[in-house]
């Protein structure tokens, strides 16, 4: 009930922030999480292998954002 960090508006906002500054982030190869560039091991799965690259990070952040906005997209269909 009280998982504020995982609420949909917060994730959408976070995805937006990542897309605007993709060079500050990288993707965990273990669980596909987006983590800060300075991170050495993934906080979710403890992996130390990351995919770096602006394009890959933007693509992954968009996936996260789209997942949360699906209901809005459906509402747009008229
Ligand atoms: Zn991970």
* Number of domains the chain is built from: 1
Structural domain range at position 33: 24-53
CA of 36 to the centre of ligand 1 (A): 12
In a domain, 33, yes or no: yes
Q: What is the 3-state secondary structure (H, E, C) of the chain?
A: CCCHHHCHHHHHHHHHHHHHCHHHEEEECCCCCEEECCCCCCCCCCCCCEECCHHHHHHHHHHHHHHHHHHHHHHHCC
Domain membership flag for residue 12 = no
Q: How far does the centroid of ligand 1 lie from the alpha carbon of residue 47, in Å?
A: 5
- Domain contains 40: yes
Ligand 1: centre distance to CA 43 (Å):
7
Calculate how far, in angstroms, residue 76's C-alpha sits from the geometric centre of ligand 1: 34
Whether residue 42 lies inside any domain: the answer is yes
Per-residue pLDDT of the chain (78 residues; tens, 9 = 90+): 444 555 667 888 889 999 999 999 999 999 999 999 999 999 999 999 999 999 999 999 999 887 655 555 555 555
Q: Flag whether 36 is in a domain.
A: yes
64 inside domain: no
């Amino acid at each position: 009930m009280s998982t504020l960090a995982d609420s949909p508006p917060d994730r959408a906002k976070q995805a937006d922030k990542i897309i605007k500054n993709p060079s500050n982030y990288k993707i965990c190869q273990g669980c596909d999480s987006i983590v800060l560039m300075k991170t050495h091991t993934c906080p979710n799965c403890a992996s130390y292998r990351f995919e770096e690259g602006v394009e890959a990070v933007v693509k992954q952040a968009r996936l996260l954002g789209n997942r949360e906005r699906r209901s809005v997209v459906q509402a747009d269909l008229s």
